[in-house]
């Protein structure tokens, strides 16, 4: 049966699937992962490419999912991840296949990813200063990340979005510089509010810089005009009023949650279906698949899980409970 939609009990349609291909990472960003890393999943517990592709086909063919984003952990540390991109692309070459990466391996991988069918890319970059980068990512790979961004561009992975997690006192003095970079290079910079999904439990509301404050700082220098988005998304997007290339977007998960229009669902590296970043439970699909169930059976489990999607998260409300998994274990 084709193109039934995945609808939850609040009437939202899920058509944007994020697939985590690994929980491992070669960085240790302070807002995401502890310095010593995490307890990594065993190889056998991670979905194989064939298993991911089977689920992707189900989501696309049966439920009309149009956007698939590969993420992690760091997706480029998964060996031959470009083969998975090719497998997903062969389901439907018009699919919007994207990736979120820290960029450090892009010089080696960008062309292969493009040739396999990756359409767009988001690269995380939180500072334009090498010394600060070492403090934030706990890595000395700043130069390689900058070169990776260039490699993505050369490979034709365009448009490029840069993800910046803004933390008070750490990098919030750079937001105007990032807006200038967007204008100079034609990137869209997405300013992301720091969410309570870090592995070290360092999150406090005081470290969150509300998107409106960032927008004010940018507009002092570069007036913005809203960008009319044809598809719903987490970011409020703007172009520059003077017609300069590039743009900015704000992901205000903490100060102005976008839950009422959320169309995202997530598959963790071990095959857990999550309906929200902040879900306190997930629906395990791996053992079900490995036990040999049919697509109809699997589809029934998926539909029931999506129906139960939470109305929204409760950050800053008394009932908020931090999920047991951090961002890299979920797949941001």
Q: Is 32 in the site for ligand SF4 (CB under 6 A)?
A: yes
Site track for ligand SF4 across 156-195, x = CB under 6 A = ----------------------------------------
Among candidate residues 139, 169, 170, 187, the one with its CA nearest the CA of residue 178: 187
Q: CB 193: neighbour CB atoms within 10 A?
A: 22
* Contact partners, residue 1, CB within 8 Å, separation at least 6: 62
Report the alpha-carbon distance of residue 269 to residue 291 in Å, rounded: 18
SS (H, E, C) 209-258: CCHHHHHHHHHHHCCEEECCCCCCCCEEEEEECCCCCCEEEEECCCCCCC
Report the residue number, 99 or 273, with the smaller CB distance to ligand SF4.
99
Site track for ligand SF4 across 262-301, x = CB under 6 A = ----------------------------------------
Give min distance, CB of 277 to ligand SAM, in A.
Answer: 9
Residues numbered 54 to 73 that lie near ligand SF4 (CB under 6 A) are 72-73
Report the residue number, 16 or 74, with the smaller CB distance to ligand SF4.
74
Give min distance, CB of 153 to ligand SAM, in A.
Answer: 17
On whether the CB atoms of residues 267 and 284 are closer than 8 A, the answer is no
Report the residue number, 30 or 305, with the smaller CB distance to ligand SAM.
30
Counting DSSP H helices and E strands in the chain, the numbers are 10, 12
3-state secondary structure of 190: strand
Report the residue number, 246 or 332, with the smaller CB distance to ligand SAM.
332
Task: Give the interface with ligand SAM as residue ranges (CB under 6 A).
Answer: 25, 31-32, 71-72, 74, 100-102, 124, 163, 165, 192, 194-195, 197-198, 327-328, 332
- 33 contacts which partner out of ligand SAM, ligand SF4, none, CB within 5 to 8 A by kind? ligand SF4
Report the alpha-carbon distance of residue 37 to residue 25 in Å, rounded: 8
Containing 181, the helix (H) or strand (E) segment is helix 175-185
Strands 96-101 and 67-71: parallel
Residues that bind ligand SF4 (CB under 6 A): 25, 27-29, 32-33, 72-74, 102, 124, 327-328
């Amino acid at each position: 049966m084709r193109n039934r939609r995945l609808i939850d009990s609040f009437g939202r349609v899920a058509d944007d699937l994020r697939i985590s291909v690994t929980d491992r990472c070669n960085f240790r960003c302070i807002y995401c992962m502890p310095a010593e890393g995490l307890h990594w999943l065993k190889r056998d517990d991670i979905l194989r490419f064939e298993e991911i592709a089977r689920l992707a086909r189900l989501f696309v063919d049966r439920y009309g999912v149009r956007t698939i984003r590969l993420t992690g952990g760091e997706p480029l540390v998964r060996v031959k991840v470009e083969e998975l991109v090719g497998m997903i692309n062969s389901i439907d070459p018009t699919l919007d296949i994207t990736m979120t990466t820290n960029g450090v391996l892009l010089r080696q991988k960008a062309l292969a990813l493009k040739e396999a069918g990756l359409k767009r890319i988001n690269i995380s970059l939180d500072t334009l200063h090498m010394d600060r980068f070492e403090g934030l990512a706990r890595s000395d790979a700043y130069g390689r990340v900058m070169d990776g961004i260039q490699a993505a561009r050369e490979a034709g992975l365009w448009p490029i979005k840069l993800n910046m997690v803004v933390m008070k006192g750490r990098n919030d003095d750079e937001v105007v510089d990032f807006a200038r970079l967007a204008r100079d290079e034609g990137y869209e910079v997405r300013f992301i509010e720091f969410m309570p999904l870090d592995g070290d439990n360092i999150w406090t509301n005081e470290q969150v810089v509300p998107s409106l404050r960032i927008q004010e700082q940018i507009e002092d220098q570069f007036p913005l005009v809203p960008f009319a988005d044809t598809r719903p998304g987490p970011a409020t997007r703007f172009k520059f009023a003077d017609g300069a290339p590039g743009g900015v977007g704000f992901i205000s998960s903490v100060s102005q949650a976008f839950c009422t229009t959320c169309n995202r669902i997530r598959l963790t590296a071990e095959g857990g279906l999550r309906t929200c970043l902040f879900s306190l439970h997930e629906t395990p699909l791996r053992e079900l698949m490995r036990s040999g169930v049919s697509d109809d059976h699997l589809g029934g489990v998926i539909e029931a899980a999506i129906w139960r999607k939470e109305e929204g998260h409760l950050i800053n409300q008394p009932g908020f409970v931090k999920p047991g998994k951090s961002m890299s274990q979920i797949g941001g």
